[in-house]
Amino acid sequence: MQWNLNGYYNNYEELRQLISLKQPRIICLQETRLHPHHTPKLNSYQIHRFAYTNALIAAEGVATLIHNSIILKDSIQLNTNIQNITLRIKTCHPLPTLEFTTCNIYLPPHTEPKYADLCSLVAQLPQLFILLGDCNVHSTSWGSYKINTKGKLFDKLLQQHPQLFLLNNNKSTRFNISNGTSSAIDLSISSTNLGHLLS
């Protein structure tokens, strides 16, 4: 499960309800707004996070929650400025046994990564992998009604890297409650050798 929850503590009860309903084994959260001194806990999950502060105020940030039934093999430190939590994990019962890497990222609306930064991030991911997150990207390639600069970068990334498999299915991923519009700004990408197992 992935979700830009716009504040971990603000939406803690809704997160618990979603967990009860969906029973996800891996949860990737963006915009957690957790300060480095916060110590979030959730029953049956290990929480791995990247805290981001702006003028000492908790902002942005990502967290990946791993269910206790999943074996954490390694935490991978990527050489990148992109906010991420990257973990090498192994699934166990009731899922098929499988080792793969999850890379949970957040690209704030006001940041414009360089194409080389995206290529470098992908190059550092061990096979097999899932790369996902709130990227604040728009492109008609995955269901947005428009395209923005970041969308063009990801379009190019997907076209020039045949090992990447886009999982988005042209459906919206975000509902703006203030104006009633939908958009598709969140991406789910896997390595092609894992894509056939995913939907």
Q: For residue 55, is pLDDT > 60?
A: no
pLDDT band at 94 (very low <50, low <70, confident <90, very high): low
Q: What's the pLDDT score for residue 125?
A: 97
Q: What is the pLDDT of residues 5-41, one digit of tens each?
A: 999 999 999 999 999 999 999 999 999 999 888 889 9
Q: What is the pLDDT of residues 148-191, one digit of tens each?
A: 999 999 999 999 999 999 999 988 888 877 887 778 899 999 99
Model confidence, pTM: 0.92
- 182 vs 143, 171, 185, CA distance in Å? 10, 9, 10
Q: Is pLDDT larger for residue 51 or for residue 150?
A: 150
Q: Which domains does the chain have, with CATH numbers?
A: 2-195 (3.60.10.10)
% pLDDT > 70, the chain: 96
How many CA atoms lie within 13 Å of 33's alpha carbon, on the beta-carbon side? 11
